[in-house]
């Protein structure tokens, strides 16, 4: 098993990628500290891990609070004796989200408030800083380990209506690169994954919504591989486990000499598209190319 004897703390683990990865990491031998702002979701994820024979601790914490995430790390070390992997996975979309996807109302950039900015910044970037800061002493005491962050394809290319979100995720990328230099001498690797597809619709749903447990693509209807927006043609849609397996690679010794990297995950070639218009729209798949 890839994580035999390891202890992993995962934020935002109450739903979506965090829940899927908690189960995957546990199946690979890790003990899991399930951290989420929603206590009920955290408990459910921990129970799912236990039901498959693993060990898990549910912790309620807001990553935007340095005190709360520091306490979460302390509880993890107190319970399991150490920390090997700290994954800052919690994230929120800026107000307005992606209205064309979520069916919501568009919020103009100039109408976003200081509170809107502080909220998305607090969770998506400051929360990563706080999680890393809380984890470093435990990782140093352990002789090294892994800090992992969930970035986004939106940190690499443009999406409509989520400029604040994109800015925070780009900040995550810079943080990862800087920390890889600073923490490398202590045997601590720092990386991020930047998902494109295969992520949970819960991300765009109101707090407290039922956990979907599937990707956008899985819940959007029958999969048509030759007319999908993803260049790589597969006979199934991308799902949460596709991203969780990338995180597993970055958290395990399979990536022992990788640090300071932002790895685009589950993009299927989407990020390779050209950025200008041609007489024939090369950004759209040709359904006749079968």
Could you list the active site residues? 165
Interior angle at CA 264, CA 228 and CA 41, nearest 5? 85
User: Which residues lie below 8 Å from residue 57, measured CB to CB, with a gap of 6+?
Assistant: 31, 32, 33, 34, 46, 75, 76, 79, 80
Residue 68 vs residues 8, 36, 61, 137, 287: alpha-carbon distances, Å: 17, 11, 5, 16, 50
| Dihedral over alpha carbons 201, 205, 210, 212 (to 10 degrees) | 0
Q: Name the token pair of 103.
A: 């069916």
In angstroms, rounded to a whole number, what is the distance separating the alpha carbons of residues 174 and 288? 41
């Amino acid at each position: 098993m890839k994580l035999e004897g390891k202890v992993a703390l995962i934020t935002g683990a109450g739903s979506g990628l965090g829940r899927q990865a908690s189960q995957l990491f546990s199946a690979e031998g890790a003990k899991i500290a399930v951290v989420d702002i929603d206590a009920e979701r955290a408990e459910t994820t921990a129970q799912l891990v236990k039901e498959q024979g693993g060990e898990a601790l549910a912790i309620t914490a807001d990553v935007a609070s340095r005190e709360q995430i520091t306490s979460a790390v302390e509880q993890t070390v107190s319970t399991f004796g150490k920390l090997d992997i700290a994954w800052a996975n919690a994230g929120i979309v800026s107000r307005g989200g992606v209205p064309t996807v979520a069916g919501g109302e568009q919020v103009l950039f100039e109408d976003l408030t200081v509170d809107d900015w502080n909220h998305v910044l607090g969770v998506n970037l400051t929360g990563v800083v706080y999680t890393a800061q809380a984890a470093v002493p435990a990782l140093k005491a352990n002789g090294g380990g892994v800090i992992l962050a969930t970035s986004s394809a939106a940190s690499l290319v443009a999406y409509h209506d989520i400029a604040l979100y994109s800015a925070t995720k780009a900040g995550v990328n810079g943080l990862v690169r800087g920390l890889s230099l600073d923490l490398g001498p202590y045997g601590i690797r720092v990386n991020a994954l930047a998902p494109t597809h295969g992520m949970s619709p819960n991300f765009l749903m109101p707090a407290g919504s039922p956990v979907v447990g599937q990707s956008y693509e899985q819940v959007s209807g029958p999969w048509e591989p030759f007319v999908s927006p993803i260049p790589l043609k597969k006979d199934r849609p991308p799902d949460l486990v596709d991203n969780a397996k990338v995180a597993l690679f970055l958290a395990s010794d399979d990536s022992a000499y990788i640090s300071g990297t932002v790895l685009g995950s589950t993009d299927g070639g989407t990020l390779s598209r050209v950025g200008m218009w041609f007489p024939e729209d090369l950004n759209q798949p040709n359904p006749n190319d079968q």
